[in-house]
Amino acid sequence: MEAPDSKITINVGGVRFKTHSSTLKTFPGTKLANLTESHASSIYNFDPNLKEFFFDRNPSVFGYVLEYYRTGRLHFPSEICKSVFIQELEFWEINESQLAHCCWLNLNKKDCDVEHFNVWDDKDQTDGEGLLTTNSTGRTDFSCRARCQPKIWALFKIPPSSASAVCMMLVSLLITIGAIMIFFAETKEQFMYEANVTRPTITYLPNATTSIWVQLQLTHTTSLIFLELFCVIWFIAELCLRFAFCPDKKKFMKSILNIIDFISIFPVFIEFPARGHHNVIAILWIVLGFMRISYIFRLLKFFMLFKDSLIIRVLLGSLRSIVKEILILMLVLTFETIFFSTLMFYAEYYATDHYVYEDLQFLDIYTAFWWAMVTLTTVGYGDVIPRTNFGKVVAALTSMAGILTIVIPIPILMVKFQHYYTIAIVHEKLKLSRNK
């Protein structure tokens, strides 16, 4: 350019921009700065008749780029997609790190939205079960078993696939609920075991170790055990069929829900031969009771049927996105529990003569741990309470700390839930439009 500060016309996507050459020289080495060179007309698309440079690029973004040369501050247009904006900056040879601080939040928010949307898209249901069996040559196996396998597998694992699968799910659900109700009924007084204690004659010998044996005899009704046995037989048949027709047996055996189904089989078969008047170890019945909790966990596989529900997926996505925040919250609660429990113990135990209070409850820090956790979570059972004035002050501080600690994560979860819910709605609409 001959004139030191001549005007330059730039046509970007049909929109003409006029500026001074001195403005384009603000950032040397960039594409716009090169337009001020004398040989620019031979390098770039220059129209000698209109005396303008033409670039088939986005005119909206170029307006912000030109403003960057004028003011020295690069801003991000909220109505432009981030990927488009970055591509335009690369074309005009401008580093995105030059973006003004006020626009970084908006740019990163768009980046998070795209990332979350892509993650949500990757979680679409796919036929990842490998229902079609292939042989070693990679060819599809069309044998009778291979043809029946997907149908039987769907009968137990994909209830929406057919009316028979829905009926199978309902029957399995009812039997599972029945087993749980039987488990609960055995804790009622009329079904509980009665222990007949036989006390043998004890002879004390000097300078000898005395062993006392207590014989427990259990008397009970046997109606519930047969009902439970029927439920367990159904569990065994269902588990065997699912294992036989499972497309991936290694994955099947590693599944936590299948392991729970396997554990739920044993209690009734261990207890059944031991019922009646037999010598048993009391701890056995406690162990069997804990094993029967697996009946309750069997309900989880029915909840898994709703894992494709929009609300469930949004809630799980929200929780996954704040795992770090939850861990930090747990660390804060742990620190507060240790701090306030120790403070409460010394406040109660040493602030006054503890021999005066016969009902002093904070006799050790472990008891104070329980009190601190209950107070921090704002539950407040009231089973352990401070007696001294200093202890009451510590209790008040603990309550306030607990409220502040619990309240802070709630807005974070709500914002995340709303964010994921918006993405989910957009994603579902996109799927519907693609299926049309």
Count of C-beta atoms within a 10 Å radius of residue 354: 15
Q: What's residue 138's pLDDT?
A: 47
Distance, in Å, from the CA atom of 383 to the CA atom of 386, rounded to the nearest integer, reads 10
Q: Which pair of tokens denotes residue 167?
A: 């009926």
Q: Does residue 25 have a pLDDT over 50?
A: yes
Topology of 7-122 in CATH? Potassium Channel Kv1.1; Chain A (3.30.710)
Which of 172-176, 238-242, 279-283, 361-365 is least confident? 279-283
Q: Residue 140 carries which DSSP code?
A: B
- 126 — pLDDT class (breaks 50, 70, 90): very low
Contact 53, 18 (CB under 8 A): no
Which range has the worst mean pLDDT, 105-119, 240-254, 297-311, 386-400?
A: 105-119
pLDDT of 212 above 70: no
Query: Any idea which fold 317-411 has?
Result: Helix Hairpins (1.10.287)
pLDDT at 341: 93
pLDDT tens, residue by residue, 50-84: 889 999 999 999 999 999 999 888 888 877 887 88
Q: What CATH class is the domain 144-201+213-305?
A: mainly alpha
Q: Is 292 left (phi over 0), alpha (psi -120 to 50) or beta?
A: alpha
344 and 398 in contact (C-beta within 8 Å)? yes
Quick check: 266 and 260 in contact, CB under 8 A? no
Nearest to 255 by CA among 306, 310, 312, 297: 297
Task: Give the tokens for residue 222.
Answer: 């046997």
Q: Does residue 397 have a pLDDT over 50?
A: yes
Q: Contacts for 274-283 with beta carbons within 8 Å, 24 or more apart?
A: 275/218, 275/220, 275/222, 275/225, 276/218, 277/217, 277/218, 277/219, 278/217, 278/218, 279/215, 279/216, 279/217, 280/216, 280/218, 282/195, 282/216
Distance CA 263, CA 276 (A): 24
Is the CB of residue 58 less than 8 Å from the CB of residue 88? yes
For residue 398, the model assigns a pLDDT of 94
CA dihedral 283, 284, 289, 291 (to 10 degrees): 120
9 near 18, Cβ under 8 Å? yes
Interval 12-41 mean pLDDT: 89
Q: How far apart are CA 369 and CA 398, in angstroms?
A: 12
**Distance, first Cα to last Cα, the chain:** 56
Cα separation, 312 vs 305, in Å, equals 11
Which two structure tokens, joined as six digits, stand for 180? 């749980």
> Which residue bears the tokens 């603000």?
26
**So where are the chain's domains?**
7-122, 144-201+213-305, 317-411
pLDDT of residue 54: 93
Q: Mean per-residue pLDDT for 138-145? A: 55
What is the number of residues in the chain? 436
304 or 124, higher pLDDT: 304
Residue 214's nearest CA partner among 226, 202, 230 is: 202
Q: Which residue has the higher pLDDT, 43 or 111?
A: 43
Work out the pLDDT band at 388, boundaries 50, 70, 90: confident
Amino acid 205: pLDDT:
47
421 or 21: whose pLDDT is higher?
A: 21
Is residue 200 scored above 60 in pLDDT? Answer: no
Rounded (10°) CA dihedral 244, 245, 246, 252: -20
Task: Name the more confident of 39 and 432.
Answer: 39
Residue whose entry in the numeric block shows the structure tokens 């016309």: 9
Per-position DSSP letters for 280-322, written without gaps between them:
--HHHHHHHHHHTTHHHHTTHHHHGGGTTSHHHHHHHHHHHHT
CB 28 within 8 A of CB 17: no
pLDDT above 80 for 175: yes
pLDDT of 1 higher than 50 = no
Q: Can you give the pLDDT at residue 197?
A: 46
Separation of alpha carbons 402 and 416, rounded Å: 23
Long-range contact set of residues 28-31: C-beta below 8 Å, sequence gap at least 24: 29/93, 30/92, 30/93, 30/94, 31/91, 31/92, 31/93
What is the rounded radius of gyration, in angstroms, for the C-alpha atoms of the chain?
36
Q: Which pLDDT score, from 0 to 100, does residue 120 have?
A: 56
Q: How confident is the model at residue 220 (pLDDT cuts 50, 70, 90)?
A: very low
pTM of the predicted protein model: 0.58
More confident residue, 118 or 411: 411
Bridge partners, 12 (sequence order): 15, 55
Long-range contacts of 399-407 (CB under 8 A, 24+ apart): 399/375, 401/336, 401/340, 401/376, 402/336, 402/375, 402/376, 402/377, 402/378, 403/378, 405/329, 405/332, 405/333, 405/336, 405/376, 406/376, 406/377, 406/378
pLDDT of residue 115: 54
- Model confidence at 275, in pLDDT bands (50, 70, 90)? low
Q: Is the model's pLDDT at 42 over the cut of 50?
A: yes
Closest CA to 35 of 54, 62, 50: 54
